[in-house]
């Protein structure tokens, strides 16, 4: 049973040593320990404030970044819209020019066709006239080969001339 119940002397000396140790720690170490704990507490508090500030700055930067991205998207959309409008206007202008050019070419082709047609008709008329003259000349040469026939034709023409 000795092991379970300590003696009074042991309790006394243990208490005395504890009080001396407590006095020495309070005299020399307590202020250092308390100041170290306070310093550590201040550093932790400063670190927490810095973390909060960093988080706020991060949120501000993220908001600014989002705004910049939105502005960039809007600018991109505007540029794409302008590019589409320019493309559409260029295409419309090209279509108009092509249509005008086609109309001009068709008009020129029609004029050329009409000119060629008129020239062909004139040439055909000239050829018909020449052929008619040649045929008439051959017929007259055949009919007027004889002198009596020539006198008869001249007399008929004189009678027609006098009547008219």
Give 58-98 pLDDT, tens digit per residue: 999 999 999 999 999 999 999 999 999 999 999 999 999 99
* Cα–Cα distance measured from residue 85 to residue 97, given in angstroms and rounded to the nearest whole number: 18
pTM: 0.42
8 Å CB contact between 143 and 151: no
Residue ranges of domains in the chain:
8-153
Average pLDDT score over residue span 36-65: 94
Q: What are phi and psi of 4, to 5 degrees?
A: -85, -40
HEC string for the chain: CCCCCCCHHHHHHHHHHHHHHHHHHHHHHHHHHHHHHHHHHHHHHHHHHHHHHHHHHHHHHHHHHHHHHHHHHHHHHHHHHHHHHHHHHHHHHHHHHHHHHHHHHHHHHHHHHHHHHHHHHHHHHHHHHHHHHHHHHHHHHHHCCCHHHHHHHHHHHHHHHHHC
**Span 110-132, mean pLDDT?**
90
Mean pLDDT within 49-63: 95
Q: Which comes out higher in pLDDT, residue 137 or 34? A: 34
């Amino acid at each position: 049973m000795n092991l379970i119940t300590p003696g009074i002397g042991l309790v006394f000396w243990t208490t005395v040593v504890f009080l001396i140790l407590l006095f020495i720690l309070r005299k020399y170490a307590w202020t250092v320990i308390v100041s170290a704990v306070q310093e550590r507490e201040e550093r932790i508090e400063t670190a927490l404030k810095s973390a909060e500030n960093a988080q706020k700055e991060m949120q501000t930067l993220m908001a600014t970044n989002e705004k910049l991205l939105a502005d960039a998207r809007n600018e991109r959309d505007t540029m794409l819209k302008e590019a589409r409008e320019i493309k559409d206007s260029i295409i419309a202008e090209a279509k108009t020019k092509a249509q005008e050019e086609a109309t001009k070419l068709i008009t020129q082709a029609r004029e050329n066709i009409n000119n060629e047609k008129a020239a062909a008709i004139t040439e055909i008329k000239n050829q018909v006239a020449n052929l008619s003259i040649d045929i008439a000349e051959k017929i007259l040469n055949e009919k007027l080969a004889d002198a009596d026939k020539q006198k008869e034709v001249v007399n008929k023409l004189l009678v027609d001339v006098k009547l008219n």
